[in-house]
Amino acid sequence: MMHFETPPVGVLQDTLALQRQAYLAHPVPSLAERKADLHTLQRFIREHKEALCDAVSLDYGHRSRHETLLAEVFPAVDGIDHILKHLRGWMRPQRRSVDWRNFLGASNRVLPQPLGVVGVIVPWNFPLNLSMVPLSYIFAAGNRAMVKMSENSRHLAAYLIQHMPAYFPPEKLRFFDETGGVGVEFSKLKFDHLLFTGSGQTGKAVMAAAAQNLCPVTLELGGKAPAIVCDDFPLKLAAERILFVKLLNAGQICTTVDHAWLPEAKVDEFVNLARALVAKRYPSLDSPDYTSIIDQRAFERLLVALEDARNRGAQVLSLMDGLAFDRDTRKIAPHIVLNAPPDSLLLQREIFGPILPLRSYMSLDAVMASINAGPRPLAVYPFSYDRAKIQHIIDHVMSGGVSVNDALFHVGQHDLPFGGVGDSGMGHYHGHEGFETFSKMRPVFYQTRLSTLKFLWPPYGKFADRVLAFLIR
């Protein structure tokens, strides 16, 4: 049993004051200093990767080591390499044009400068990825950071709190664990920017708290991301790709395939393909490659959603032989659900588990209308080799991002921004947009020694009339 003491509000405020003071004393770190921070962060991840995987697995009950390496360690390490390659160009002042009629000889620049102190609130589902990747952009932009981990990441939080100070001093980076009420107080701090990843309900509370300080926020939320399999796309390939993403981390991904739309005639074949794939990839519920549900509350919520669908007349199919779930290990077998009614829990709420409702369609327009009738999702996943059809879906269904003929992997592209829209979030990070999110893109106007505006100083007369007439002719 792990015991933590809740950090008093004063500790949070003192840390913010310490980092703010350090920022004011040295507001614009050099390229070399930023690169050094990025190399240090990367070195920490590499030197501690096995212990970090173990800590995450302890928090889950069981988390596939390969999934942690693939979805958390690798993106963070590889992403830092991408930033190091581009950082000099990102930091370079941007030239902007000048209206020569009014400001002959003057010049304009946009200077990317650090905001100061950035707060990060991290969820439990990918706690390494969603702390280390944002930190890499925060440091690239020259900032300092305070990071609040999830209450479901107790072992990982303890490890980071213990070992990170050997790499970064508290005036640069400090981690906090959630022991009850910490997140509320954390979101009330007067940061220069606040990044929150989590549920829409909590995101609203975080945004409301940040608004009291006029603190800008980036919200990475979730939603019901659909896959849309068109009639021309090979069904086996669609099943292989959709099931890989859906069962990664046992479906506990904000950008997973929440549900899939299939041509009506292909539903039964998809189910058969899914059964064969699950038997091959996860021979049993105790497979080390299959991840547990994070806690008892989430486990029970998923079982209730399955029972709700069953009671409403849906067909609930376990894709694995043997037990459909195991309370001791908090593992739930992969399930497909057919004919779930629109008001069922599975179709009303983000699933966040290894359950895939299949929805059949006759008309692609009806699919798009159904998606557009709900909140805008974090992602949409169209499957088709018809480019015009793909573009039609992209044009008519708004979402945070899109992966075409696959799912999830737009998030793994280092040079693409990542973010939601509407109910699925606001703002971006990853890529150049991530650097800009945590920077003040500061406009600077440089006047010449002799300003032509001098001829328009009061008192105004006929000459001013002629100049203004010329300017707005």
Spell out the residues 6+ positions from residue 391 whose beta carbon is closer than 8 angstroms to its own.
Answer: none
Tokens of 337: 């659900």
Strand 379-383 and strand 226-229: pairing? parallel
- Please answer whether residues 190 and 215 qualify as being in contact, where contact means their C-beta atoms are separated by less than 8 angstroms: yes
> Which amino acid, one-letter code, is at 307?
E
CA angle 166, 172, 178 (to 5 degrees): 80
Distance CA 230, CA 388 (A): 12
Whether 72 is a known active-site residue: answer no
Which one, of 384, 378, 357, 359, lies nearest residue 369 by Cα?
359
CA distances to 88, 90, 159 from 128, in Å: 26, 25, 12
Which one, of 161, 28, 10, lies nearest residue 442 by Cα?
28
Which one, of 230, 223, 224, lies nearest residue 405 by Cα?
230
Distance CA 8, CA 24 (A): 25
- Given the residues 254, 264, 300, 436, select the one marked as catalytic: 254
Written as one string, the DSSP assignment of 249-279 is GGG--TTS--EEEEEGGGHHHHHHHHHHHHH
Which one, of 302, 372, 289, 364, lies nearest residue 332 by Cα?
302
Strand pairing partners for 381?
Answer: 227
- Tallying the residues shown for the chain, one arrives at 473
3-state secondary structure of 414: coil
Spell out the residues 6+ positions from residue 63 whose beta carbon is closer than 8 angstroms to its own.
Answer: 53, 56, 57, 249, 291, 292
- Given the residues 178, 220, 230, 350, select the one marked as catalytic: 220
Distance CA 371, CA 461 (A): 62
Whether 53 is a known active-site residue: answer no
Distance CA 341, CA 260 (A): 14
Q: Count other Cβ atoms within 10 Å, centred on residue 8.
A: 11
How far is CA 380 from its chain centroid? 15
Query: Quick one: which H or E segment has residue 298?
Result: helix 296-311
Distance CA 194, CA 215 (A): 7
Distance CA 228, CA 141 (A): 38
Q: Count other Cβ atoms within 10 Å, centred on residue 438.
A: 26
Residues annotated as catalytic (active site), given as ranges: 220, 254
